Amino acid sequence: MAIESVVHKVGLLGGGVIGGGWAARFALNGIDVQIFDPDPQAQRKLDDVLANARRAVRKLVMPALPPEGTVTFVATPELAATGTDFVQESAPERLELKVELLRRASTAAGADVVIASSTSGLLPSRLQAEMNHPNRLVVGHPFNPVYLLPLVEVCGGSQTSEAALDRAGVIYESLGMRALRITKEIDGFVADRLLEALWREALWLVNDGVATVSEIDDAIRFGAGLRWSFMGTFLTYRIAGGESGMRHFMEQFGPALQWPWSKLTDVPELTDELVDRLVAQSDDQANGATIRELEALRDDCLIAVIQGLRTVGYGAGEVLDRYEQQLFDRTEIDSAAIDIAQPIRIYERSVPTEWVDYNGHMNDSRYLQLSSEAGDRFLRFIGMDGAYLASQRSFFTVESHVHYIAQCRAGDRLYVTVQLLAHDSKRLRFMTIMCRGDDDTVVASAEHMMLHIDTSIDRVSATDPVIIAKLDEIAVFHRALEPPKQTGHGLGPLP
């Protein structure tokens, strides 16, 4: 399937934070863009957004992106719309300004070219009022940053055709977005009503001196915000209702709606009809999934999100990081207690879900990851700490040989021993043996050759004598042991 066939050239009205984000999303999908924006700083601002977007989207997606589309500034809204097969308006939220821009663009765009507005909450029926062919006006309301967030609300006005709404949906989805059709036109649509409700409550909390902006943000990002990244409030509450689901939840928390738990005390009456509707829609949403299944899905998503944030070291990821450090400290290698007369049991961890591949077992590359993590611990044990790295010295691996011996499953506890095989001032060679904690089955081995590197010039250099002394101390014992049978093994000549 060819994404490029959906649209080839788009016109943008406005190139600010939102318009620039659109420009990036289109261009990075190989689509040419022409922009009208009267701001004298527009080009510079757009270049900044494009630079951010290029960096981010290339990091986000694994496959290669198509060749980037061109981005050209033009002098009028008419020129922006000319010769395009889609137009997106992202001007400031002033009705008369948007109406005029859309009118002008509609005189220049082909009659069947869909024209979308990024408005956060103005009604499409009013936006299309002055247009040629108003039936092709849709709201396509995105979220910042447009080049990363998938959501776009798609909503028509009284004159909008179904065909225009469908076409906008197809175009947005071809860009990697999630088009959410809003069937009833209201101020603020759906997403912004929810955001605005939370925002207004938050402003009251600051106004009343209850909490600071930072505390309010923390109250979201360490709690419900983590759930909201993959499940909305309704599905979350269905799960919270436990085995009896949504009806039970409404019975249990319905009374709280009457309590002053938000500034909005004008709440809908929980009539039987409304509760029935909530329950029926919630059943549809769950689509037969049991509470246990939904709990497992919720938990897997939370784990994935928090572990993802751990790689950035921010928010809940930072909390996890600190917690794991506490746990490591409890099981930290006590250097004095280590018996260096034997292969050193240096590391243990469990197999996370994402290490399992289509064969249902731990992917081959994860054995090397496990061995590499154990190797890092061994390096720390022999003295390669943060200060050593800061002095621009490190060990780089030059060869690894892995033998895969037994399969591992998600949740298996594994431990790793390290046996020093050889070292001199510049080289370090050791073998890791990976074992299952339950029964000490050997699941894999990996032999590594490392070089000591001066990282300021990326050249081989002499290891610090303190580390050499530690290695010498270990070698007295480890060289006296039988080398593991995998030592030195290669696959040998071709048959």
Within 290-329, the residues that bind its own copies by CB under 8 A are 292, 295-309, 311-312, 314-317, 319-320, 322-324, 326-329
Segment interacting with its own copies, rule: CB under 8 A, options 98-106, 125-133, 237-245, 466-474: 237-245
Query: Among 74, 129, 149, 442, which residue interacts with its own copies (rule: CB under 8 A)?
Result: 149
- Contact between 340 and its own copies by CB under 8 A: the answer reads no
Cα gap 89→66, rounded to integer Å: 24
Conformation bin of residue 255: beta by default, left when phi > 0, alpha when psi is -120 to 50: alpha
Smallest distance, its own copies to C-beta of residue 82, A: 28
Query: Among 59, 336, 337, 459, which residue interacts with its own copies (rule: CB under 8 A)?
Result: 59
Helices vs. strands in the chain: H and E counts, helices first: 17, 14
Looking at the chain, how many residues does it have?
495
Query: Among 8, 9, 103, 221, which residue interacts with its own copies (rule: CB under 8 A)?
Result: 221
Query: Among 102, 108, 131, 402, which residue interacts with its own copies (rule: CB under 8 A)?
Result: 402
Number of residues forming the site for its own copies (CB under 8 A): 198
CB atoms closer than 10 angstroms to residue 117: 27
Nearer to its own copies, 111 or 208 (CB): 208
Sign of CA dihedral 138, 142, 148, 151: negative
Nearer to its own copies, 83 or 345 (CB): 345
- Contact between 145 and its own copies by CB under 8 A: the answer reads yes
Query: Among 38, 39, 47, 58, which residue interacts with its own copies (rule: CB under 8 A)?
Result: 58
Query: Among 260, 336, 339, 459, which residue interacts with its own copies (rule: CB under 8 A)?
Result: 260
Nearer to its own copies, 111 or 311 (CB): 311
Cα gap 196→204, rounded to integer Å: 12
Smallest distance, its own copies to C-beta of residue 189, A: 8
- Contact between 95 and its own copies by CB under 8 A: the answer reads no
Smallest distance, its own copies to C-beta of residue 260, A: 5
Nearer to its own copies, 60 or 341 (CB): 60
Nearer to its own copies, 107 or 170 (CB): 170
Segment interacting with its own copies, rule: CB under 8 A, options 78-86, 102-110, 126-134, 350-358: 350-358
Count Cβ atoms within 10 A of the Cβ of residue 56 and give its class: 0-12 exposed, 13-18 middle, 19 or more buried. Answer: middle
Segment interacting with its own copies, rule: CB under 8 A, options 74-82, 127-135, 337-345, 359-367: 359-367
| Dihedral, CA of residue 244, residue 247, residue 248 and residue 252, to nearest 10 | 170
Query: Among 48, 276, 472, 473, which residue interacts with its own copies (rule: CB under 8 A)?
Result: 48
Query: Among 40, 75, 111, 183, which residue interacts with its own copies (rule: CB under 8 A)?
Result: 183
Cα gap 156→179, rounded to integer Å: 13
Query: Among 163, 203, 476, 481, which residue interacts with its own copies (rule: CB under 8 A)?
Result: 203
| CB 68 within 8 Å of CB 114 | no
Beta bridge partners of 151: 178
- Contact between 97 and its own copies by CB under 8 A: the answer reads no
Cα gap 370→355, rounded to integer Å: 10
- Contact between 409 and its own copies by CB under 8 A: the answer reads no
Give the pairing of strands 393-404 and 413-423: unpaired
Non-local CB neighbours of 354 within 8 Å, separated by 6+ positions: 304
Conformation bin of residue 92: beta by default, left when phi > 0, alpha when psi is -120 to 50: beta
Report which DSSP code applies to 63.
S
Query: Among 12, 24, 165, 368, which residue interacts with its own copies (rule: CB under 8 A)?
Result: 368
Residues 450-489 that bind its own copies (CB under 8 A): 455, 458, 483, 487-489
The residue whose two tokens read 């829609």 is 281
Query: Among 163, 232, 469, 476, which residue interacts with its own copies (rule: CB under 8 A)?
Result: 232
Tell me: cis bond preceding 145? Omega within 30 of 0 counts. yes
Q: Which residue, 364, 474, 463, is CA-closest to 418? A: 474
Residues 371-390 that bind its own copies (CB under 8 A): 371-372, 376, 389
Q: Which two tokens stand for residue 188?
A: 């603020």
Query: Among 26, 86, 143, 378, which residue interacts with its own copies (rule: CB under 8 A)?
Result: 143
Residues 75-94 that bind its own copies (CB under 8 A): 92-93
Segment interacting with its own copies, rule: CB under 8 A, options 129-137, 161-169, 276-284, 460-468: 276-284
Q: Which two tokens stand for residue 318?
A: 């930072």
- Contact between 219 and its own copies by CB under 8 A: the answer reads yes
- Contact between 239 and its own copies by CB under 8 A: the answer reads yes
Residues 101-130 that bind its own copies (CB under 8 A): 120-121
Non-local CB neighbours of 311 within 8 Å, separated by 6+ positions: 317
| CB 403 within 8 Å of CB 444 | yes
Smallest distance, its own copies to C-beta of residue 70, A: 19
**Phi and psi for 11 in degrees, rounded to 5?**
-105, 135
Cα gap 210→202, rounded to integer Å: 10
Query: Among 74, 97, 129, 216, which residue interacts with its own copies (rule: CB under 8 A)?
Result: 216
- Contact between 195 and its own copies by CB under 8 A: the answer reads yes
| CB 2 within 8 Å of CB 29 | no
Q: Which two tokens stand for residue 292?
A: 């246990």
Cα gap 138→160, rounded to integer Å: 7
